[in-house]
Amino acid sequence: MKKILGIDDNADINELLDTILNGSGHEFIYVKSGIEGLKLIREKKFDIVLLDLAMPEFSGFDVINSLVKEGLLTKQKIILFTASSVLDSEIEDLIKKGIHSCIRKPVDVDFLLEKLEQVQV
């Protein structure tokens, strides 16, 4: 069982991930904005953080930059879960900064569960 935090502004995806991940034995909570997500990351420890990049006001990039400044990025296993057109080179740069990996939307449930299972806590 892994403790997973979802940061995504898409309510449907959050709700479905809630059903899927909690239903498959993980402990999943979600927030709808980058600011709330950043606050939770500071306060609690999560095994995996699923981070969307394109969010209004405070994007995933802002979350990453704030974590880099505070030196918290490498302490979290942050997986980008995004539909944005991020180039592979940009992802490579983010991985060098301390991001764990990237899953591009759309994905199906089995694939997502498989990838989350592969993450070593």
User: Applying CB under 8 A, which residues contact another protein?
Assistant: 10, 12-13, 15-17, 19-20, 22-25, 54, 83-88, 91, 95, 100-111, 113-115, 117-120
Least distance (Å) between residue 58 CB and another protein: 17
* CB of 47 closer than 8 Å to CB of 60: no
Q: 39 vs 104, which CB is nearer to another protein?
A: 104
Spell out the residues 6+ positions from residue 104 whose beta carbon is closer than 8 angstroms to its own.
Answer: 82, 83
Rounded Cα–Cα distance for residues 102 and 80 (Å): 4
Q: Which amino acid is at 2?
A: K
Least distance (Å) between residue 96 CB and another protein: 10
Instruction: Tell me how far CA of residue 39 lies from CA of 19, 43, 83, 85, 105, in angstroms.
Output: 23, 6, 23, 26, 25
Q: 32 vs 115, which CB is nearer to another protein?
A: 115
Least distance (Å) between residue 14 CB and another protein: 10
Dihedral, CA of residue 68, residue 70, residue 71 and residue 73, to nearest 10: -50
Q: 26 vs 38, which CB is nearer to another protein?
A: 26
Q: 43 vs 57, which CB is nearer to another protein?
A: 57
Least distance (Å) between residue 109 CB and another protein: 4
